Chains A and B, each alone.
Chain A
Amino acid sequence: MTKKIEAIIREERLGDVKEALRAIGIMGLNVFEVKGRGRQGGITLSGRGGPYQVDLLPKLQVNIVLSDHNVDAVIETIRKAAYTGEVGDGIIFVYPVEQVVRIRTGEVNREALMYPNDIDSK
């Protein structure tokens, strides 16, 4: 079974999150720039006419497709690396994935997700 993890994190935590994922053997991921609103409630910026409230803040969405048995370890890794303790640290969603196909080789599912030194070879 294959799953997709969507992790919405702070922009400035991306470096640490990528590094932590690399350390456990997760190399494949992609990153979206998103704007979002949650409990943080936005911030106050200064403009020429005085302060104003901005409630959609820039965050990053990190997408990882991986085998079922690795999901818990990866969620733990992301939580530790993305954590600051302040409201606005983010949220993680997990979805099922129907099929994976590697474009260059045509490999499907498990084989399509494997590469040298990945998490399943450790």
Chain B
Amino acid sequence: MKVLDSGDTAWLLISAALVLVMTPALAFFYGGMVRRKNVLSTLNLSFITIALISVQWVLYGYSLAFGPDKGGVIGGLAFLGLAGVGTPSSAYAPTVPHLAFAAFQMMFAIITPALITGAFVERVSFKAFILFTLLWATFVYDPVCHWVWASGGLLTRIGVLDFAGGTVVHITAGFSALAFAYAIGPRSGFGHTSFEPNNIPYSVLGAGLLWMGWFGFNGGSALAANGIATQALVTTNTAAAAACLVWMLLSWLDNKPSVLGIVTGAVVGMVAITPGAGFVTPLAAIAIGGIGSAISYYAIKLIKGHRWVDESLDVFACHGLGGLWGALATGLFASTAVNSAGRDGLFYGKSGQLLVQAAGALAAIVPAMLITFGIAKLLARTTGLRVSTGAEQVGLDISEHGERAYP
């Protein structure tokens, strides 16, 4: 067993804090986009996820995700209550305490269900949401996380590359968001009322904090304070920047460059680079971020423009499609010259990785959508999925929380 390295451990602990702050940042990113009467409710959906998943992870989530593999599918119960997860290191991250690795991973488990909330803001019942989050974490996040990142997980076995969670986090959340939006139905007035963002400055602030936090999300996923972590930090920043500029240009061509769009572009770029951050070059990151931005931009135009579904805050377009593009782009741009622990992609002579990435994405998309839709429909039938029309009209802050954001 390798000796614990204080530099690696310090970086991982800091990264855990950076990834944690991404969830309140997300709360504000989303909060600014909803109507005034639903601000507190929207902030709370993200915030309460921190509490719910922090406990779930300690009790059994970490065990299901990273416990010793059972058939490639799940981790089992060896680490229930984090038993045996302490100061000595694990094979996952040989130079840091096992508990530090578990804590870092917890922050990913937290933000993933928080991402989905954007699909069902302004109408979901708080009670149904709590149940959904716990069920989704247990039946979607923990298994998919196991398949992609646990040793022996079935997607690890076929060689899927996911540096920091393009498949585990963004694809699962984005496609689940789409399924949930279909299950819950549109907001009352969708299609003929304009829903104006109540506080775009919140969204700008949230995006800025997400950018900083993402250095922990991608940089920390190197699980060491080394060259790969540095690579990931730089590719993350580059992809965000390229994506931000592309979105600005596209939105400028269409009309005026919207500030909300500009900050969304930056977020999308970071989504796209997440699966490949430690496997690609900064030059590749420009392409990955830029192309990802264009894909999400036009997806939103199509989906919102034609009103196919009220997936309220475009989680599918940004995270689902952004993550999918990122996963495939990793199959194009990954290079063992950058990271010898990775693979080579199509542009470095190996066509196989692209197919592996596609298979990995599909393996996450299908169960995520089916299970999410199933849980949502089950909740609709039992506790009810959304609030009453009257409650929705008054706003969830008052009807679900008995509070006003701005008296």
Residues of A whose CB lies within 8 Å of any CB of B are: 11-12, 15, 19, 43-47, 51, 54, 84
Contacts and interface: CB of A to CB of B under 8 A. Distances in A.
B390 A46 contact: no
Given A46-B403, A54-B407, A84-B390, 18 more contacts: A11-B37, A12-B37, A12-B393, A12-B394, A12-B395, A15-B189, A15-B193, A19-B192, A43-B398, A44-B402, A45-B398, A45-B402, A45-B403, A45-B404, A46-B401, A46-B402, A47-B403, A51-B402
Contacts, number: 21
Interface in B365-407: 390, 393-395, 398, 401-404, 407
A27 B37 CA distance: 26
**Contact-residue size bin, chain B (C-beta under 8 Å from the other chain):** 10 to 19
A50 B376 CA distance: 33
21 contacts: A11-B37, A12-B37, A12-B393, A12-B394, A12-B395, A15-B189, A15-B193, A19-B192, A43-B398, A44-B402, A45-B398, A45-B402, A45-B403, A45-B404, A46-B401, A46-B402, A46-B403, A47-B403, A51-B402, A54-B407, A84-B390
Interface string B190-215: 00110000000000000000000000
B392 to A, nearest CB: 9
For A12, A44, A51, the residue with the greatest tally of chain B CB atoms inside 10 Å of its CB is A12
Contacts of B398: 43, 45
Contacts of B402: 44-46, 51
Nearest to A86: B390
Nearest to A46: B402
A42 to B, nearest CB: 12
A47 B193 CA distance: 32
A15 B195 CA distance: 11
Contacts of A84: 390
A60 to B, nearest CB: 13
Interface in B304-338: none
A44 B193 CA distance: 29
Contacts of A51: 402
Nearest to A15: B193
Nearest to A45: B402
A11 B403 CA distance: 16
B352 to A, nearest CB: 55
A112 to B, nearest CB: 29
A54 to B, nearest CB: 8
B39 to A, nearest CB: 14
A51 B407 CA distance: 15
Contacts of A15: 189, 193
Give the 6 A-B residue pairs with the shortest CB-CB distance, closest first.
Answer: A46-B402, A12-B393, A15-B193, A45-B402, A45-B403, A12-B394
B209 to A, nearest CB: 25
A81 to B, nearest CB: 13
B17 to A, nearest CB: 26
Interface in B250-268: none
A106 to B, nearest CB: 33
A12 B122 CA distance: 13
A110 to B, nearest CB: 32
Nearest to A52: B402
A87 to B, nearest CB: 14
Contacts of B189: 15
A12 B388 CA distance: 14
A52 to B, nearest CB: 10
A43 B404 CA distance: 11
A108 B401 CA distance: 50
Contacts of A43: 398
Contacts of A11: 37
Contacts of A46: 401-403
Contacts of A47: 403
Nearest to B407: A54
A106 B393 CA distance: 41
A45 B193 CA distance: 28
Contacts of A45: 398, 402-404
Nearest to A14: B193
A59 to B, nearest CB: 12
A15 B402 CA distance: 23
A51 B401 CA distance: 11
A45 B402 CA distance: 5
